[in-house]
Amino acid sequence: MTITINHFLIVSFLLFSIGFFGVLVRRNFLTVLMSVELMLNAVNLNLVAFSKRLSSLTGQVFSVFVITIAAGEAAIGLALTISLFRQRKTLNVEEANTLQG
């Protein structure tokens, strides 16, 4: 069996879905951040897959950019996590609802 682009896309879709699900349901702020990383990597996989399929390097360059941004995002996210914990003595996102209408 040859591995086609569809296989890559299915893996990417599952990975993105798991990440999105994690973002929606997990209470812990740290886990939510990790789920966001999953979603970003699912996108990376998609970009690389299409880069291979279309014989173009643009997709791969884009995925390098995404990895860079993800590093920044993780740094800021962790900083926010520490700050939140200092304020609330908790990392439960359910309780961080001060902006409720």
CB of 38 to another protein, least distance (A): 14
Indicate whether 93 belongs to the interface with another protein (CB under 8 A): yes
User: Distance between CA atoms of 74 and 98, rounded to whole angstroms?
Assistant: 23
Distances (CA, A) of 86 to 31, 56, 79, 92, 96: 18, 47, 11, 13, 13
Binder among 9, 23, 66, 91 for another protein (CB under 8 A): 23
Letter for the amino acid at 6? N
CB of 33 to another protein, least distance (A): 12
List contacts with another protein (CB under 8 A): 20, 23-25, 32, 93-94, 96-101
